[in-house]
Chain A
Amino acid sequence: DSGVTQTPKHLITATGQRVTLRCSPRSGDLSVYWYQQSLDQGLQFLIQYYNGEERAKGNILERFSAQQFPDLHSELNLSSLELGDSALYFCASSVGSGGRKSTDTQYFGPGTRLTVL
Chain B
Amino acid sequence: AQTVTQSQPEMSVQEAETVTLSCTYDTSENNYYLFWYKQPPSRQMILVIRQEAYKQQNATENRFSVNFQKAAKSFSLKISDSQLGDTAMYFCAFMNPGAGSYQLTFGKGTKLSVIP
Contact = CB atoms under 8 A, between A and B. Distances in A.
Contacts of A90: 45
Given A103-B33, A103-B52, A105-B50, A98 B102 contact: yes
B104 A98 contact: no
User: At the interface, is chain B mostly helix, strand, loop or mixed?
Assistant: mixed
Contact of B100 (A92, A99, A101, A105): A99
A104 B44 contact: no
A43 interface: yes
Interface in B25-65: 31, 33, 35, 37, 42-47, 50, 52
A77 to B, nearest CB: 20
A111 interface: yes
B26 to A, nearest CB: 16
Given A88-B43, A100-B97, A33 B102 contact: yes
A45 B104 CA distance: 7
B98 interface: yes
A13 interface: no
A97 B102 CA distance: 6
A48 B101 CA distance: 8
